[in-house]
Structures are given as structure tokens and as C-alpha cells.
């Protein structure tokens, strides 16, 4: 009997080891909030995820993976201005694309989401523009369709196909207007909306939103977010025998949260669930990684956690941590298809002729195409930037600039990194002309290090180049304009300057500069706290800009040798 027991124990031990996989959160680091993920056996057992993009363009990034560990950007579902012209007119940094839901049915990928005009009154009928876009090829940005719009005065819309093929959409009304989760039948082809009914108000937390419906064991399960997207964020669930309710709440709600804890991963919520090839359940949720000062400039990120869901019972979610054990998945080669690179990859871009900017590169709203040119005549292996009248702040910090802002960047996806690039500043001549690098959250939260032409303090008629680090933020106690202003050293004797931004700790950015080819002369210009970029719904972008700061004299500058070097081995806080 003892022998049999020990043999059984050995089998169970081996079984447990065989069914566990170790992985690290976040799976989509940086500015990747409101995740929605699916598993598609028809596409070689690949997992796909979509996330919110707000006002950056191209928008709605689609990532793919075979093992839930290595995630590649395969397309941007919103890649053409004509798909959604209103994105360029939406004011406020909290406007734009909110919470896309990704689903697959009969060979077609469906993406349902909302363009939110967050500056409009909450009861305005045109505040929310809901639409569906589709594709038969998620690896090609241009394959995503034009939107089919439907009339619903709310946001966080999510489709569900019932057993009879009827599509129901769940969504959320504005908080002050009619709070709670709404549902209605939708004809996706004609955009005809049926009767809208309230199906659940949640457990009493604020802002019931982010709904998704799942069908299992004779029940309809409704997973939602409550508590706002801050420290009280949580996922709660209810179920019903009828898709339109009434829904009963899980007695153990919330099913997932970090509220009232000291965990490193905070603000956990806005979840979605899916199954793998072995029918195991997983959940993705947004979260933030807080530094000791409460800062999280990378914003809301995508985390993954296993879910135990026994027949007829409520799902049980595992709390989100950095290093996790989940259902077993074979380690597989990364996805080869698609347009981009692995989400954690660095970048060494040399702007070779006849190339385009990688799909990871984004702008704030729509770019002015003529402001960017790769390897123009006489400037091989460089990106030409034509200056904009607007700087990164804009005329009032929130307005859409009709003439555009010359800015392009990538998401910050590691706590520790070094970003550098070289500028040819030869063309700078008129007062207030400026080029440089930036950590950009939105128009009211950014730090910029550049060369700017200003009047010499000893001779008001003489315009000279100065290295200037300045920022703007609404975070109390961190309002800053000029952090440091120093003349470009005469000893540099060059107009080709290396700018560098690095994060060597988890609370501050360091901004540095050096003459091209002489990094040994690199000097630190100043420091800026990540807490000044801890605000809103987005995350930090690392990029370059060129502006006349309101002046009329347009100029060109040239960027070369773009390097993002991510020190992931130092990112030890991920394992907490």
C-alpha cells in the first residue's frame, strides 16, 4: 500500500510539474491598457490581443503569440486616417480609442470599440462613436476594414454570439447619465440596434464598465470592471440563465483585484478571459507597476493570470504577480507572420533608403506625412523632420493642432533603458527653433531635452544654441518649465549632437547630451521624476520632435542612429 501511495505521489508530482509553465508579467509592458485576447485554432493555434490606443496613431495594436510569453506586434487595426477622421479632432488626452474587444468567428476577426470625445458633456449624444472593424488577415494593417458605426450612447462595447447566431453587444453608459451594464442585439452587417436593456449594475463599486459575456455550462457569465481604473480597480462577475438577465453576483466578488494591498502590481482590473488548446482558462487584465514614490509613467499594462473554472462553478482567478506559474504550454517559436517585432525588443534604426517607419512608431493624432522623409537626397541613413509650428504642448495643452505636431516615438516598455539618437542641428538659425528628444505621455505631461535657439544673455541681438531640459505636468508639486538651460559647449565644435534619455532607477529619468562621435564627453543635463508622467490612461512614449515654438520660419533637421537599448536583466522588480 505504501509503495502504491508513493508511486501515486510521484505521478502527481510529475503531473503538476508537467502542467505548470513559468512566465513573467506584464506580457505586454508599457502603454497597452484594456486588453482583449482570444485563441484562434484556425490560425495555427495563435493567441491574439488588442489594447487601447487613445490618441496615438497608428492605433489599436494587435499582438500575437504561440506560447503566451513572446508577443509580436503583427498589425495596427487603425492605420489609415480615413478609417476614423474624428480621431484628429478629439480634444483632451483622455479622448480617443477606448477598450477594443477582439473576437473571432467563421474566419473573420471582429474588433468592436469606441471613439470617445471626452471633452463633450457626459450626456451628449455624440460623445461616443461606436463601431466595428473586421479583417480576414490580422497580420496586415491595411486588411482591416473601414468602420461600420452603430448607435449606442456609451463605451466599452463588446460583442457576444449566442448559440443561435444572434449578436448581443454589452456596453456602459456614462456614469452620471445611466450607470450600469447595458445589452442589446446588433445586426453587424446593417448596424441596426435592438432594444437596450440594463442587465447588471455590479456589486456597488463605482464605474461599472468593461463588460464581456461568456457561455459555459448552461450559464451566461458577465465579467465587468468596477471601482474606477485607479487603486480601487477590480474585476467582478455575475451569471444568468438568460443572456439579458437577471444576473446574480458571485458571492466571492471581486474575483480579481489588488485594492487595499501593497503588491507591486496595482490597479488590477478590466479583464477578459479565453481558453487555450487544452481548454484551460486564462485571463488578461490591466495593471500598473508602482515605484516606491507611487509613480508609474509606463502607464497601464497587460498582465496574464490562470483561471480555474470547474464545471458549474464560478471561475477562480490567481492574483497577478511578476513571476507566475500557469497552465502548461509548450515553448514554441515566436510568431513569424506580421509587420512588427516582439514587444520587448529594442531598436537600432538606421533609416535606410526605401524603408518605412516600423509599425511600433506612433504619432500624437494623425501625422503630416510631408514632415517625415527617410534618407532624403544628401542625407542618407537619416530621418528628415520638417518642423511644426506647434511644440509638444500645443496651444492649450489639449487641443488638436490643425497643422500637426512633428513628433514620432515608441512606447517605453522597460523600467530600465537607454534611448539615444543623433541630430544634425545645422539648420537651426531663427529664434525658438528647437529639436530634441522627449518622454511624452500627452500634451500636458512630457519632458523634452533639445537644442533651442535663444537670445544670448550677454548680447540680446545674438542668437545662440542652448541645451534646454524642460517639462510640463499637471501632477501637483511637480509643475516644471525650464529644469536646466546651458549653452552648447564651444569645445564640442560640431552641430551633430547625441541626445540620450535613460532610466537607471525606477523613479527618475536622466537626460544627457554629447557631441556626435564623442560619447566620452557626454554630460547629464538634468533629471525628471516619473511621478510627473503618472496621470491619465496612457503610457510614456520615447521619441523625437522638431518645432519652431510658434515661429513662422520652417526648417528641416535630420535624425540618425536611433537606439533603444532595454536593460531587461535589471528589471528585477518584475519578479515581485
Q: In CATH, which of 3.30.460.10, 2.60.120.200, 3.10.580.10, 3.20.20.70 is domain 347-575? A: 2.60.120.200
CA dist., res. 126 & res. 120, Å (int): 8
516 forms bridges with which residues in the sheet? Answer: none
Taking only the tens place, the pLDDT of each residue in 271-287 is 999 999 999 999 999 99
Number of helices and strands in the chain (H, E): 1, 40
Which member of 67, 129, 209, 250 is catalytic? 209
**pLDDT of 6 strictly over 70:** no
pLDDT of the residue at 332? 76
pLDDT of the residue at 334? 86
CA dist., res. 39 & res. 26, Å (int): 18
What phi and psi, each to the nearest 5 degrees, are found at residue 280? Answer: -75, 145
Residue 122: which pLDDT band, with cuts at 50, 70 and 90? confident
pLDDT of the residue at 566? 79
DSSP-based three-state secondary structure for 5: helix
What phi and psi, each to the nearest 5 degrees, are found at residue 575? Answer: -90, 0
Section 139-144 average pLDDT: 98
The answer to whether 525 and 311 have CB atoms below 8 angstroms apart is: no
CA dist., res. 569 & res. 565, Å (int): 12
CA dist., res. 43 & res. 24, Å (int): 25
Which member of 34, 272, 276, 424 is catalytic? 34
Count of other CB atoms within 10 angstroms of residue 2: 6
Region of 165 (left: φ > 0; alpha: ψ -120 to 50; beta: rest) is left
CA dist., res. 104 & res. 397, Å (int): 39
Residue 545: which pLDDT band, with cuts at 50, 70 and 90? very high
pLDDT of the residue at 481? 83
Mention every residue, 6+ apart, whose C-beta is less than 8 A from residue 458. Answer: none
Poorest-pLDDT segment among 62-71, 131-140, 168-177, 426-435:
168-177
CA dist., res. 466 & res. 488, Å (int): 5
Q: Which three cell numbers stand for residue 199?
A: 442587465
Cα angle 434, 438, 443 (rounded to 5 degrees) comes to 90
Is residue 349 packed enough to be buried (19+ CB in 10 Å), middle (13-18) or exposed (0-12)? buried
CA dist., res. 544 & res. 551, Å (int): 19
pLDDT of the residue at 21? 83
Count of other CB atoms within 10 angstroms of residue 355: 11
Q: Which three cell numbers stand for residue 313?
A: 462553478
How many residues does the structure list for the chain? 576
Match 477594443 to its residue by C-alpha cell: 100
* Residue among 301, 360, 371 at smallest CA distance from 58: 360
Match 456614462 to its residue by C-alpha cell: 174
Taking only the tens place, the pLDDT of each residue in 231-289 is 999 999 999 999 999 999 999 999 999 999 999 999 999 999 999 999 999 999 999 99
DSSP 8-state assignment for residue 369: G
Section 326-355 average pLDDT: 90
- Distances in whole angstroms, Cα of residue 14 to Cα of each of 18, 277, 323, 377, 529: 6, 21, 21, 64, 48
Residue 475: which pLDDT band, with cuts at 50, 70 and 90? confident
**pLDDT of 354 strictly over 70:** yes
Residue 17: which pLDDT band, with cuts at 50, 70 and 90? very low
pLDDT of the residue at 307? 98
Taking only the tens place, the pLDDT of each residue in 49-64 is 999 999 999 999 999 9
CA dist., res. 15 & res. 119, Å (int): 55
The percent of residues in the chain predicted with pLDDT above 90, rounded, is 83
Burial 182-210 (b: 16+ CB within 10 A, else e): bbbbbebeeeeeeebeebbbbbebebbbb
CA dist., res. 287 & res. 269, Å (int): 7
Taking only the tens place, the pLDDT of each residue in 480-537 is 688 999 999 999 988 999 999 999 788 999 999 999 999 899 999 999 999 999 999 9
Three-class SS string for 100-148?
EEEEEECCEEEEEEEEECCCCCCCCCCCEEEEEEEECCCCCHHHCCCCE
Q: In CATH, which of 2.115.10.20, 3.40.50.300, 3.30.420.270, 3.40.50.12710 is domain 21-327? A: 2.115.10.20
**pLDDT of 4 strictly over 80:** no
Tally of CA atoms within 13 A in the half-sphere of 338 that contains its CB: 25
CA dist., res. 99 & res. 114, Å (int): 7
CA dist., res. 479 & res. 43, Å (int): 49
209 is catalytic: yes
Dihedral sign from CA coordinates of 516, 522, 526, 527? positive
CA dist., res. 37 & res. 158, Å (int): 12
Task: Kindly write down the DSSP assignment for every residue of 350-361, as one continuous string.
Answer: ---TT----TT-
* Residue among 448, 443, 545 at smallest CA distance from 54: 443
> For the chain, how long is the longest CA-to-CA vector?
98
Where, residue-wise, is CATH 2.115.10.20 in the chain?
21-327
Where, residue-wise, is CATH 2.60.120.200 in the chain?
347-575
pTM of the model as a whole: 0.94
CA dist., res. 23 & res. 17, Å (int): 14
Poorest-pLDDT segment among 46-55, 201-210, 396-405, 419-428:
396-405
552 is catalytic: no
End-to-end CA distance of the chain: 42
pLDDT of the residue at 16? 36
Section 316-343 average pLDDT: 91
Higher pLDDT, 267 or 10: 267
Match 529594442 to its residue by C-alpha cell: 346
Three-class SS string for 431-465?
CCCEEEEEEEEECCEEEEEEEEEEEECCEEEEEEE
Amino acid at each position: 500500500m505504501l509503495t502504491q501511495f508513493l508511486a501515486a505521489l510521484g505521478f502527481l508530482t510529475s503531473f503538476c510539474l508537467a502542467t505548470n509553465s513559468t512566465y513573467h508579467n506584464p506580457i505586454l509592458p508599457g502603454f497597452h491598457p484594456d486588453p482583449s485576447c482570444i485563441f484562434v485554432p484556425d490560425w495555427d493555434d495563435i493567441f491574439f490581443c488588442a489594447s487601447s490606443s487613445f490618441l496615438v496613431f497608428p492605433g489599436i495594436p494587435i499582438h500575437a503569440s504561440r506560447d503566451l510569453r513572446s508577443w509580436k506586434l503583427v498589425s495596427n487595426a487603425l492605420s489609415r486616417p480615413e478609417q476614423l477622421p474624428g480621431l484628429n479632432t478629439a480634444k483632451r488626452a483622455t479622448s480617443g480609442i477606448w477598450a477594443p474587444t477582439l473576437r473571432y468567428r467563421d474566419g473573420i476577426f471582429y474588433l468592436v470599440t469606441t471613439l470617445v470625445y471626452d471633452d463633450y458633456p457626459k450626456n451628449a449624444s455624440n460623445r461616443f462613436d461606436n463601431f466595428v472593424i473586421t479583417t480576414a488577415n490580422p497580420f496586415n494593417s491595411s486588411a482591416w476594414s473601414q468602420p461600420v458605426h452603430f448607435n449606442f450612447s456609451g463605451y466599452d462595447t463588446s460583442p457576444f454570439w449566442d448559440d443561435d447566431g444572434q449578436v448581443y453587444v454589452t456596453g456602459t453608459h456614462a456614469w452620471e447619465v445611466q450607470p450600469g451594464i447595458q445589452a442589446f442585439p446588433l445586426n453587424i452587417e446593417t448596424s441596426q440596434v435592438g432594444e437596450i436593456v440594463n442587465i447588471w449594475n455590479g456589486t456597488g463599486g463605482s464605474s461599472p464598465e468593461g463588460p464581456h459575456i461568456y457561455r459555459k455550462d448552461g450559464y451566461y457569465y458577465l465579467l465587468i470592471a468596477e471601482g474606477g481604473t485607479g487603486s480601487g480597480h477590480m474585476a467582478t462577475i455575475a451569471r444568468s440563465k438568460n443572456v439579458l438577465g437577471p444576473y446574480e453576483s458571485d458571492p466571492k466578488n471581486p474575483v480579481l483585484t489588488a485594492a487595499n494591498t501593497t503588491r507591486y502590481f496595482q490597479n488590477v482590473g478590466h479583464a477578459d478571459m479565453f481558453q487555450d488548446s487544452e481548454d484551460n482558462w486564462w485571463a488578461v487584465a490591466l495593471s500598473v507597476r508602482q515605484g516606491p514614490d507611487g509613480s508609474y509613467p509606463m502607464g497601464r499594462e497587460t498582465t496574464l493570470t490562470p483561471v480555474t473554472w470547474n464545471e458549474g462553478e464560478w471561475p477562480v482567478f490567481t492574483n497577478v504577480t511578476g513571476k507566475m506559474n500557469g497552465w502548461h504550454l509548450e515553448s514554441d517559436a515566436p510568431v513569424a507572420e506580421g509587420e512588427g517585432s516582439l514587444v520587448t525588443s529594442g531598436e537600432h534604426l538606421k533609416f535606410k533608403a526605401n524603408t518605412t517607419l516600423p509599425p511600433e512608431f506612433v504619432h500624437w493624432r494623425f501625422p503630416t506625412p510631408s514632415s517625415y522623409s527617410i534618407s532624403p537626397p544628401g542625407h542618407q541613413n537619416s530621418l528628415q523632420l520638417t518642423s511644426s509650428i506647434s511644440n509638444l504642448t500645443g496651444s492649450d495643452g489639449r487641443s488638436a493642432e490643425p497643422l500637426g505636431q512633428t513628433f514620432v516615438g515608441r512606447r517605453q516598455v522597460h523600467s530600465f533603458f537607454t534611448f539615444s539618437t543623433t541630430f544634425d542641428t545645422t539648420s537651426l538659425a531663427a529664434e525658438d527653433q528647437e529639436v530634441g528628444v522627449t518622454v511624452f505621455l500627452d500634451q500636458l505631461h512630457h519632458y523634452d531635452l533639445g537644442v533651442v535657439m535663444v537670445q544670448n544673455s550677454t548680447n540680446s541681438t545674438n542668437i545662440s544654441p542652448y541645451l534646454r531640459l524642460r517639462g510640463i505636468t499637471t501632477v501637483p508639486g511637480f509643475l516644471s518649465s525650464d529644469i536646466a538651460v546651458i549653452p552648447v559647449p564651444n569645445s564640442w565644435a560640431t552641430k551633430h549632437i547625441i541626445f540620450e534619455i535613460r532610466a537607471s532607477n525606477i523613479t527618475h529619468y536622466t537626460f544627457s547630451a554629447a557631441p556626435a562621435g564623442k560619447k566620452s564627453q557626454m554630460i547629464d543635463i538634468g533629471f525628471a521624476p516619473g511621478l510627473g508622467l503618472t496621470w491619465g490612461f496612457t503610457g510614456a512614449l520615447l521619441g523625437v520632435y522638431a518645432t519652431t515654438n510658434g515661429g513662422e520660419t520652417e526648417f528641416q533637421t535630420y535624425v540618425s542612429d536611433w537606439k533603444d537599448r532595454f536593460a531587461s536583466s535589471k528589471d528585477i522588480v518584475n519578479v515581485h
